[in-house]
């Protein structure tokens, strides 16, 4: 197992070392393009080259995560909304990209990747092939090499005869043993070096956090205003209209109770029906604002009750040692409700799984279905609304939904649990 891991690191180190050529090409082209900006040409060539540099850096982030379990975050500022819609001019785009500190850190990383990064990746590859060379020399290959060029130095060992060639075997075995131990560490070291330059700095992380909190604050205000308008509309069109009709019916009953008792009884029955319907609508409205079961029993029982009303079978696994704060609990409940409803409506799923637990200061939620897949976060869509709702609490949403399924929606919300009520 250890030898296989070392051999894999060796092959990957060889592959990564070749990427230094890409770093060299992108570094030269981008620097020349930036120098040509005063001439006007660079304004048009710099943005696509910076995008290429970012794609190259993102590829290294992917390799770091999959090959060495080294996570490198994205530090880039999001493009302005007008650029995403294709309005901003080329000069503004070029200026925006050059003002992003991550652009210059990427360019600095290119210099490191083509030098120190290349050497480390090459060393991760070199130990084992160099060790195998000792066995090849001992097999007789030393003879034509020595005949053509004289004494051949293998590491610290001069080879000029079969006896000295045989001594290359233990030396080669030592290199292979060293590669078995060192190659995985060198490969990981290469990616850690990349992370030192590609990861956002504390200042950049703070800037990203402030920008995200600003956006989510606006979203929260807009969402609250929309929710208030919905409540007003539901009250006006539903319960209020029925209560007004009931009041008018009771007024008519007062006028008819002596002259036409039968008609008065009819109107009383209609008023009773209106009052029952108004009460049901008020209960539905209250449930939409904050479900009573959520307030009384906590998030675990609330989501269990929610899944019982779903048309699709949902297997629920809840592990909470307490209850989150009320705003977080409410946001998690409605996020789960939205994700489950979307899966039931659009995924064509026959079964869903809901996992809800708290770990390392995070409320972690995973909703999986066996539907046809293809789900994605689109502006104005249900998942986009969930992302905005979670963003208010610095939470995150991730969607994995390949074509053909399955779909997994994961949500994380930073929070602490308290002992208030029962958390089941």
End-of-domain residue from the set 167, 198, 229: 198
Contacts (Cβ under 8 Å, ≥6 apart) of 279: none
pLDDT at 322 over 70: yes
Q: What is the mean pLDDT of residues 75-100?
A: 72
Q: What is the mean pLDDT of residues 91-115?
A: 90
More confident position, 204 or 188: 188
Query: Of 148, 180, 198, which residue sits at a domain end?
Result: 198
Q: Is residue 126 part of a domain?
A: yes
56 and 179 both lie in a single domain:
yes
Task: Let me know if residue 274 belongs to a domain.
Answer: yes
The whole-chain average pLDDT of the chain stands at 79
Q: Which residues contact 74 (CB under 8 A, 6 or more apart)?
A: 58, 61, 200
Same structural domain, 272 and 304: no
Q: How many angstroms separate the CA atoms of 341 and 307, rounded?
A: 10
Report the alpha-carbon distance of residue 275 to residue 112 in Å, rounded: 75
Residues 276, 393 share a domain: no
The domain tally of the chain equals: 3
Domain boundary among 238, 270, 289: 289
The pLDDT-based confidence of 380 (bands split at 50, 70, 90) is low
3-class DSSP assignment, residue 399 = strand
Buried b (16+ CB within 10 A) or exposed e, 280-297: ebbeeeeeeeebebbeeb
Query: Residue 423: inside a domain, yes or no?
Result: no
Quote the pLDDT of residue 152.
Answer: 76
**CA-CA distances (angstroms) from residue 196 to 112, 189, 200?**
10, 11, 9
pLDDT of amino acid 31: 93
Q: Under a CB-based contact definition with an 8 Å cutoff, are residues 381 and 405 in contact? A: no
Residues 162 and 274 in one domain: no
Higher pLDDT, 193 or 156: 193
Distance CA 389, CA 230 (A): 17
More confident residue, 64 or 216: 64
Paired with 358 in beta bridges are: 363
Tokens 């800037």 belong to residue: 207
Residue for token pair 């992108």:
26
Residues 79 and 227 reside in one and the same domain: no
* Structure tokens that stand for 234 in this block: 């539901």
pLDDT above 70 covers a percentage of the chain that reads 78
- Kindly tell me if the per-residue pLDDT of 302 is higher than 50: yes
DSSP one-letter string for 178-214: HHHHHHHHHHHHHHHHHHHHHSPPHHHHHHHHHHHHH
Domain that holds residue 81: 2-198
CA distances from 202 to 75, 84, 112, 144, 227 (A): 10, 27, 21, 59, 36
**pLDDT-based confidence at 220, cuts 50/70/90?**
low
pLDDT value for 86: 47
Q: Domain check: are 54 and 166 in the same one?
A: yes
Distance CA 137, CA 22 (A): 34
Residue 419 has pLDDT above 70, yes or no: no
What's the pLDDT score for residue 113?
Answer: 93
Residues 6+ apart with CB under 8 A from 175: 127, 128, 130, 131, 134, 155
CA angle 89/95/96 to nearest 5° reads: 90
In a domain, 70, yes or no: yes
- In this structure, the answer to whether residues 64 and 137 fall within a common structural domain is yes
Name the token pair of 21.
């050529």
Q: What tokens were used for 150? A: 């004289």
**In the predicted model, is pLDDT for residue 154 greater than 70?**
yes
Compare 6 and 273 and report the one with higher pLDDT: 6
- Cα–Cα distance, 379 to 82 (Å, whole number): 15
* Stronger pLDDT, 242 or 146, i.e. the higher one: 146
State whether residue 361 is helix, strand or coil.
coil
Q: Which of 16-20, 152-156, 318-322 has the highest mean pLDDT?
A: 16-20
Inside any domain, residue 420: no
CATH number for the domain spanning 386: value is 3.30.565.10
Specify whether the CB–CB gap between 405 and 347 falls below 8 A. Answer: yes
Q: Which of 91-95, 163-167, 202-206, 346-350 has the highest mean pLDDT?
A: 91-95
- pLDDT for 26-83, tens place per residue? 999 999 999 998 888 888 999 999 999 999 999 999 898 889 888 888 888 777 655 5
Convert the pLDDT of each residue in 236-287 to its tens digit: 555 565 666 666 666 776 776 777 777 777 777 777 776 766 666 566 555 5
Q: Which whole-number Å values give the CA distances from 154 to 140, 143, 159, in the listed order?
A: 14, 14, 7
Confidence band for 176, pLDDT divided at 50, 70 and 90: confident
Question: Do 413 and 387 contact (CB within 8 A), yes or no?
Answer: no
């Amino acid at each position: 197992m250890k030898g296989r891991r070392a051999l894999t690191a060796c092959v990957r180190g060889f592959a990564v070392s070749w990427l230094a050529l890409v770093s060299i090409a992108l570094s030269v082209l981008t620097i020349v393009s930036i120098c040509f900006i005063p001439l006007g040409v660079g304004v048009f060539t710099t943005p696509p080259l910076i995008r290429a540099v970012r794609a190259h850096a993102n590829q290294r982030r992917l390799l770091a995560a999959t090959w060495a379990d080294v996570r490198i975050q994205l530090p880039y500022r999001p493009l302005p909304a007008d650029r995403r819609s294709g309005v901003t001019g080329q000069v503004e785009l070029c200026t925006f990209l050059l003002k992003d500190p991550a652009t210059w850190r990427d360019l600095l990383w290119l210099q490191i990747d083509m030098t120190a990064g290349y050497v480390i990746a090459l060393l991760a590859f070199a130990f084992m092939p160099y060790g195998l060379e000792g066995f090849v020399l001992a097999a007789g290959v030393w003879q034509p090499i020595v005949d053509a060029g004289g004494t051949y130095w293998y590491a610290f060992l001069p080879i000029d005869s079969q006896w000295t060639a045989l001594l290359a075997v233990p030396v080669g075995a030592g290199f292979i043993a060293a590669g078995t131990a060192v190659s995985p560490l060198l490969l990981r070291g290469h990616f850690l070096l990349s992370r030192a330059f590609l990861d956002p700095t504390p200042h950049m992380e703070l800037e990203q956090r402030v920008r995200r909190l600003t956006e989510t604050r606006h979203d929260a205000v807009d969402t609250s205003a929309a929710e208030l308008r919905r409540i007003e509309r539901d009250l006006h069109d539903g319960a209020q209209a029925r209560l007004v009709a009931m009041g008018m019916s009771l007024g008519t009953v007062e006028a008819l109770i002596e002259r036409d008792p039968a008609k008065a009884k009819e109107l009383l029955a209609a008023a009773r029906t209106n009052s029952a319907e108004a009460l049901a609508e008020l209960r539905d409205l209250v449930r939409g604002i904050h479900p009573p079961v959520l307030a009384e029993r906590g998030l675990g029982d609330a989501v269990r009750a929610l899944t019982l009303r779903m048309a699709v079978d949902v297997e629920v696994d809840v592990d909470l040692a307490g209850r989150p704060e009320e705003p977080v609990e409410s946001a998690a409940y409605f996020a789960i409700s939205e994700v489950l409803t979307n899966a039931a409506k659009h995924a064509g799923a026959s079964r869903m799984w809901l996992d809800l637990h708290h770990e390392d200061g995070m409320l972690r939620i995973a909703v999986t279905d066996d539907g046809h897949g293809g789900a994605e976060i689109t502006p104005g869509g249900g998942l986009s609304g969930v992302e905005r709702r979670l963003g208010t609490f610095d939470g995150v949403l991730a969607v994995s939904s390949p074509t053909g399924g399955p779909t997994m929606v994961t949500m994380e919300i930073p929070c602490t649990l308290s002992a208030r009520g029962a958390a089941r």
